[in-house]
Structure 1
Amino acid sequence: MSRPTRVGVVGAGPRTLVLLQRLAAHAGGRPLEVHVVDPFDSGAGRVWRAAQDPLLWMNSRAADVTVLPDPSVTGLTAPVLRGPSLEEWVAQHRADLVREATAAGDDLLRQEVLGHGPASFTSRRLASRYFADAWDRTVAALPAGVRVHRHLRTVLDLADDPADGGQMLHLDGTAGTLAVDVVLLAQGHLGVRPGPRERRAAGFARDHGLAHVRPGYTSEQDLDVLRPGADVVVVGMGLAFVDLVVRLTEGRGGRFTERPDGSLDYRPSGREPRLHVGSRRGVPYRSKIEYPVPTDLGLPRFYSAQAVAAQHGDAPLDLRADLWPLIAREMAGAHYRELFRSHPDRTTLPAAEFDEAFTRAAWGSAELDALVGRAVPDPADRFDPAELDRPLDGWWGTSGEEVHARVLEHLEDDRARRGDPRFSPDAAVLAAVLSAYAVTAALHAAGRLNARSAAVDLDGWWHGFFSYVASGPPPHRLRQLAALARAGLVRFLGAGVHVEADPTPGAAAFTAGSTSGPHEVRAQALVEARLPVPDVERTSDVLLGRLRDRGEVRAHDVTDDGSRWSNGRLVVDRSARLVGTDGAPHPRRFATGAWVCGEASAAAFARPGTDAELFRHADRLAAELLRAAAAPSAPLSDLLSDPQGERR
């Protein structure tokens, strides 16, 4: 009897959970052993593990999270394991979850479970229970002959078996090796060693008795260095910033109370620092929309692969110069279609007449401006992509107080607007952004973007815009932020924030100002509130570091017209095989996830009812892994093949 096919997977998060389902389907009755190596929770991995601050939430509504295919998912190899979404799972297990929380004396979890519904933003520790249950369901449903082995360890190195080209995994705490036929790297988010700027800031803080918190995963950072009452400059206003605020306020014993009008007051514990916050935009990410997002807008209309080809042919595409005008038009078209359909009393032309003229007019033309001015009387109902993206640009406050008040006003107005169906064109814009993101990802996967756009703009400016508009915090978090601002514990610095190190003897400090006003603050601490930017050259992951040092993986690196561009991510070919510095893909090593070039925004879970691509991606990957594992045994030199084209 032949031995089972052996697949090694580094990482046990949601992506691996989905992959297990697809590996089992593709096994086709053949014996298969899957070795999953990760020191963190099965199904949840590092990011969603149970052992983290209970106050931290997911950033998606419970009704928008699943790791088990629903009937909308098509194109999968049978059999398909169906299962509940996060929201459905909590509803099914509510009584047991409440009973367990009560027995443990965990009133916070008990209250969460009792009030949990489709619109809930689930705590990460409760979500970890869902992922764990989905893992157990998946393993229990495996066909005879398919087995999963869990190794609660870290992979330190990976080597080829010189005899047959198989892979040998070296795990921490073990003397031997784990032998498999193929390996998939699916670690998810990884750490990065500090860069020169971060080392300078840390050194300055150390030399002058100050504090510095570098980019990282907020749930894992040591925030005790931020002393009660200390002035702290915070750079960044995205999701890492939101988690930071939670840990430094409620996490230190403060409490929010609700006013009759629904706004919040904050009762401090006295252990909080004072946060002086700014970023490039100077405002927090737009909050999640609280009412249904329209799905019947006929998207894409103006920004599709066909529209791009009609306008630009097969020439290399620049995201900003070539694609942004089409993206902006897509957003505007969705905005006005929803405005004319749902709020005709705020328009002066028949919807069909406006749409025909809008389609005919060139984007950015005087003709289009005149049309909008004539058909949409209230400027507040008109779509302005520049104002959406940079609401503080061109505005100047005469003092720090004025800047703070302006940002607070924006924050409260945005939160209220995102919860009011009278502004449903905002939801249409969100739908257009989601559509545009998918189109852009497809163009990138097809190799259509030029070197600079692929290396810099895609995961930088464009992903940042998408996150700001479509991946903001739960609305309640902005209610809390407004309360903290009114309480004087959060002060807004504005846009274009800049930080300097002032070494004045006896008065050393981090000083911060912004382009929004003349004010400046001095602080005893600096927090860089953002996730580390993936960079294979600076990774702190031991396995990737060793593979890199031997030239067995490489970071994205493209030279175009004499300029070098890199986004720091792992290069793989179109079959997801790792590519070395010699340009050849390894026949038995694969990678997927946020650190892989072209997958910066790859979701770890899916939205129910949307025929999510996540499952088909896992299906294709499972087929590739088993195909590679079934290749005839031979020395590695005989298995290497020519590249199929790298994913850039």
Structure 2
Amino acid sequence: MSSADDPVSHGPRIAIIGMGPRGISVLERLALRADDHHGSGPEVFAIDAVQVGCGRIWRTDQQPWFTMNTVAGQVTMYSGEPDGGPDRAGAGPSVAQWLARSPDPEQASIGPDGYAPRVVYGHYLRHVYRSVVDHLPDGMVVRPVTARVTTMAPLPDGGFALTLSDRSEPLVVDRVVLATGHPVSRPGASELALADFAATRPGLTYLSGDSAADLPLDLIAPGTPVGVIGMGLGFYDILLSLTVGRGGVFRRDVAGAMRYVASGREPLIFAGSRSGMPILARGANQKRPDHVHQPVVFTTDAVREAKARAGAAGLDFTGQIMPLIQKEVDHVYLTTLVRSRQGDAVAARFADRHARVLRHGGPKAALMAEHGLAPDAGLDLERLARPFGGERFTHPAAFRATLLDLMAKDIDEARRGNVDGPVKAALDVLRDIRNTIRVAVDFGGLTVRSHRDDFLGWYVPMNALLSAGPPVERVEQLLALIEVGVVTVVGPQVRYECDPARDTFVVSSVDVTDSRTEVAALVDARIPQPDLRRDTSQLYEDLVARGLVTQFVERDPVTGEVFETGGVDVTPAPFALLDRHGEEVPGAHALGLPTEHTRWFTQVGSSRPGMRTLFLRDADAIAERLLIPFPVLAPR
């Protein structure tokens, strides 16, 4: 029998801050675990500053031309497939299955191999949220809160007092999950110089630091020459906003080629990047949603063995990891190439023999010659990502001709598919092996120099350009815009500078003669990388000031070199916050993008049907910890 002075057990009060995909995934797993939990159910405060159930990036008031870059059949937020009952935690449809139910013929026709608009995914996320909340286990309560959390103060007896933008009284909770997603960051030195230059000249515009859906692109008048920095996924969003968003129309001609019909309201777009190559198209999907790549040499066991040999010094990415990745990519490329020329049976025999050579060594020249392959045949990832490296162009027209040829070839390769096309099948491997790469790099698995220079400085941007691209239709649209003169790709090694003598921005390529172009607006299409040192949110500024959050810092035990990553420091799963002293913050967890660079590729926004993905396992680990019973000394 307990008294008023005794600890009293009750279900925890939990705040999930950020209700995009990561927050929803935690809620979904909480509902399932609470159903099996013998005790009082949790009271969950589902908090989001923009829209509970989908978050800012996937909110349901954005334009339809912003598209996902994963096919609808490979995206789910449920940790189990439909079972004939109502959609609920643990049992629900993939995006493709959900769209197939839609009364909207256009949405229903997207299919499992099509790409849904981001706004449609936002509606799907809202459906997932509602289906979880509508079927909660007994005793569990979810309270949606549309507000911004500005401070998080630890309480003497445990728990936290959260200051919310919509109320004067703090919200007191026992446990907190930070699932805050994409940040808005302070500009770096070069971006700040461009912004300051524009701010003092009324005729100039500079936009940066956010997704296209949140940039005031209407400030750019029709006909204005505008430079766009970066040609990744964000570039395509800006491109569509300034063309289709201005009334332009894409149509296919009788031969099937993409053509653009201008509205006359478009600006003149001058784009560029370090590589000079727009991000490559995804191969047409030919894989089942539950497809799993079976690695030949780049296995988790191989990585763990390499880590054991490296010891405390850490792995060298270029020397120890990249060769395994290259072999894995080449194996798929060569096998697919043989299949395309000689059929399935011959390809299967080649794959078996080639795999043995890769695993155990030995000569392979005879094997390659037998199948009409050069001894050193493979896929040059660096050349694909940097096709103009070391090349000089005497005139913009010469660069344009070369670029259009490369883009046309990329479109052809994408149409061949990610199973039948050797190039796109091989590049898809870079997506399939992300989890294995994480085993190597997460939580300081690499040496400081290798993590900073080899991995973040070289591999990550190359990997993004080669494997994280848009649907092929987007590259076709860009090609059409270049052909009609709405878009000019300036070249590789592009510089964005201020000309105070002429009160203008200047865009030019180091490698293209006569490429200098004056523009009245600059738009930075690069999505800001999470960095705790530059995060502008009041919440993270408060957490840093209190010492509840600190960045993950790598220290080389051999050289003493230090690398400040900018990622929120957490434990391995369940990702408890580590304070400035390296101690766990009881009851506080961080998941997803805030922890980028402590872990790698945390921007994943879904699981895959029928698979226990890392996305799902991350959420489940936190849900399990959140429900561990604990005594509370005072009622909340």
TM value normalised by structure 2:
0.88
Name the residue aligned to 2:72: 62
CA distance in 1, matches of 2:584, 2:151: 18
Q: 1:314-333 residue pairs with structure 2 within 5 A? A: 314-315=309-310, 316-333=314-331
Name the residue aligned to 1:194: 187
SS, match of residue 490 in structure 2: strand
CA offset digits 1:375-405 (Å, max 9, x no partner): 4358998522232222222333221111122
Name the residue aligned to 1:425: 422
CA offset digits 1:220-245 (Å, max 9, x no partner): 00113322212222121111000000
CA gap 1:546/1:350 in 2 versus in 1, 3 angstroms: closer
The residue type paired with residue 581 of structure 1 is R
Deviation at 1:583, TM superposition (A): 1.5
Deviation at 1:516, TM superposition (A): 5.0
CA gap 1:296/1:131 in 2 versus in 1, 3 angstroms: closer
The residue type paired with residue 338 of structure 1 is T
SS, match of residue 217 in structure 2: coil
Name the residue aligned to 2:5: none
Structure 2 residue 614 is the aligned partner of structure 1 residue 579: no
Deviation at 1:43, TM superposition (A): 2.2
CA distance in 1, matches of 2:304, 2:619: 29
Name the residue aligned to 2:62: 52
The residue type paired with residue 551 of structure 1 is G
CA distance in 2, matches of 1:227, 1:431: 39
Name the residue aligned to 1:467: 464
Match of 1:376 among 358, 362, 372: 372
Matched-pair contact (CA < 8 Å) for 1:8–1:182: yes
Name the residue aligned to 1:281: 275
CA distance in 2, matches of 1:15, 1:474: 24
Match of 2:137 among 140, 143, 162: 143
Match of 2:95 among 86, 96, 99: 86
CA gap 1:507/1:606 in 2 versus in 1, 3 angstroms: same
CA offset digits 1:182-223 (Å, max 9, x no partner): 111111111101122111111112223322122321110011
Name the residue aligned to 1:249: 243
CA gap 1:600/1:207 in 2 versus in 1, 3 angstroms: same
Match of 2:159 among 156, 161, 166: 166
Match of 2:381 among 379, 382, 385: 385
Name the residue aligned to 2:591: 592
CA distance in 2, matches of 1:296, 1:84: 17
Structure 2 residue 497 is the aligned partner of structure 1 residue 500: yes
The residue type paired with residue 275 of structure 1 is I
Name the residue aligned to 2:4: none
Once the two structures are overlaid, the 10-residue window that deviates more, 247-256 or 2-11, is: 2-11
CA distance in 2, matches of 1:194, 1:302: 41
CA distance in 1, matches of 2:407, 2:551: 38
Deviation at 1:426, TM superposition (A): 2.4
CA offset digits 1:317-337 (Å, max 9, x no partner): 122232111111110011112
Name the residue aligned to 2:486: 489
Q: 1:263-274 residue pairs with structure 2 within 5 A? A: 263-274=257-268
Deviation at 1:115, TM superposition (A): 3.2
Match of 2:546 among 539, 544, 550: 550
Structure 2 residue 29 is the aligned partner of structure 1 residue 22: yes
CA distance in 2, matches of 1:364, 1:532: 43
Deviation at 1:339, TM superposition (A): 2.2
CA offset digits 1:584-641 (Å, max 9, x no partner): 12012111011212153352211223332322221111111222xx333479xxxxxx
Name the residue aligned to 2:47: 37
Match of 2:177 among 173, 176, 184: 184
CA gap 1:161/1:285 in 2 versus in 1, 3 angstroms: same
Name the residue aligned to 1:128: 122
SS, match of residue 538 in structure 1: coil
Q: 1:389-408 residue pairs with structure 2 within 5 A? A: 389-408=385-404
CA distance in 2, matches of 1:353, 1:171: 62
Deviation at 1:576, TM superposition (A): 0.9
CA gap 1:517/1:352 in 2 versus in 1, 3 angstroms: farther
The residue type paired with residue 625 of structure 1 is L
Matched-pair contact (CA < 8 Å) for 2:396–2:490: yes
The residue type paired with residue 197 of structure 2 is F
CA distance in 1, matches of 2:306, 2:569: 30
Name the residue aligned to 1:644: none
SS, match of residue 98 in structure 2: helix
TM value normalised by structure 1:
0.87
CA gap 1:578/1:224 in 2 versus in 1, 3 angstroms: same
CA distance in 1, matches of 2:343, 2:93: 42
Once the two structures are overlaid, the 10-residue window that deviates more, 436-445 or 398-407, is: 436-445
CA distance in 2, matches of 1:272, 1:7: 48
Structure 2 residue 305 is the aligned partner of structure 1 residue 304: no
Deviation at 1:350, TM superposition (A): 7.9
Name the residue aligned to 1:642: none
The residue type paired with residue 328 of structure 1 is Q
CA gap 1:324/1:353 in 2 versus in 1, 3 angstroms: same
CA offset digits 1:319-372 (Å, max 9, x no partner): 22321111111100111122223432799x98646863675379999x768965
SS, match of residue 343 in structure 1: helix
Matched-pair contact (CA < 8 Å) for 2:282–2:424: no
Name the residue aligned to 1:437: 434
Deviation at 1:518, TM superposition (A): 5.4
Deviation at 1:177, TM superposition (A): 0.9
Q: RMSD across aligned C-alpha pairs, in angstroms?
A: 3.0
CA gap 1:572/1:358 in 2 versus in 1, 3 angstroms: closer
Name the residue aligned to 1:223: 217
Matched-pair contact (CA < 8 Å) for 2:448–2:561: no
SS, match of residue 627 in structure 2: helix
Structure 2 residue 19 is the aligned partner of structure 1 residue 12: yes
CA gap 1:201/1:507 in 2 versus in 1, 3 angstroms: closer
Q: 1:628-643 residue pairs with structure 2 within 5 A? A: 630-633=629-632
CA gap 1:578/1:296 in 2 versus in 1, 3 angstroms: closer
Matched-pair contact (CA < 8 Å) for 1:12–1:40: no
Matched-pair contact (CA < 8 Å) for 1:15–1:604: yes
Match of 1:523 among 519, 522, 538: 519
Unaligned runs of 5+ in 1: 74-78, 99-110, 636-648
CA gap 1:521/1:379 in 2 versus in 1, 3 angstroms: farther
Q: 1:591-610 residue pairs with structure 2 within 5 A? A: 591-596=590-595, 597-610=598-611
CA distance in 2, matches of 1:394, 1:16: 45
SS, match of residue 132 in structure 1: helix
CA gap 1:236/1:368 in 2 versus in 1, 3 angstroms: farther
CA gap 1:298/1:420 in 2 versus in 1, 3 angstroms: closer
CA distance in 2, matches of 1:479, 1:376: 33
- The number of aligned residues is 609
CA offset digits 1:230-273 (Å, max 9, x no partner): 22221211110000000000101111121112112211111111
The residue type paired with residue 242 of structure 1 is Y
CA distance in 2, matches of 1:562, 1:515: 38
CA distance in 1, matches of 2:65, 2:474: 11
The residue type paired with residue 86 of structure 1 is V
CA gap 1:341/1:512 in 2 versus in 1, 3 angstroms: same
CA distance in 1, matches of 2:27, 2:291: 34
CA distance in 1, matches of 2:350, 2:216: 59
Deviation at 1:152, TM superposition (A): 0.8
SS, match of residue 157 in structure 1: strand
Match of 1:214 among 192, 197, 208: 208
